[in-house]
Amino acid sequence: MNLLNILLKKAKSITREKLYNIMVKRKMTEAQREAAAKNLAKARAAKKPPKLANVHYRVKALPDDDTLSYENVKNWIKTQEGIVKSARLTERSRSGDISQKDKDKAMRTRIGAQAYIRSIKNYITTGDWSAMFYGEFEDKLMQWKVIAPAGRDINSK
């Protein structure tokens, strides 16, 4: 007998132990199901709103219909994460249909979207918008406001 046959016989004789118990779905009556639904509704109603400790107070104070409100900015992050995901798929594609030029473009798109996400998260924590553009697709130019002039004007006396 060769070594392969010996190993195959040993492998067949080994029984696999049960590693974990699979939880069986509970069978509930209609009344139990309604009671569970009521309990869940009660628990959801008792749940307090999130404190948003990492959100700057000025960002929290903005109404939801404001352009730079917390809700809008969170949606922008979700959109940009979708852009990152699709660009990463294009960038890492091994298909011959996609040229290297398109992969490089996808890489630049991904890096830009990741930088925009970092900028948005920085805004949420500090309350200061530091990017040149804003919006869901970073397509609107930010209007700047001078709070304090930076130094002396060279034309004044």
In a domain, 129, yes or no: yes
In a domain, 131, yes or no: yes
Helix, coil or strand: residue 43: helix
- Domain range for 125 is 66-137
Question: Can you list the alpha helix ranges (DSSP code H) found in the chain?
Answer: 3-13, 30-46, 57-61, 70-91, 100-126
CB 147 within 8 A of CB 107: no
| pLDDT tens sequence across 15-54 | 556 667 777 777 889 999 999 999 999 999 999 988 899 9
Q: What is the pLDDT of residue 147?
A: 79
| pLDDT tens sequence across 87-120 | 999 999 988 899 999 999 999 999 999 999 999 9
In a domain, 6, yes or no: no
Q: What is the pLDDT of residue 96?
A: 86
> Total domain count for the chain?
1
Q: What is the pLDDT of residue 146?
A: 82
Residue with tokens 């004044």: 156
In a domain, 130, yes or no: yes
pTM of the model: 0.69
Supply angle C-alpha 57, 58, 59, rounded to 5: 90
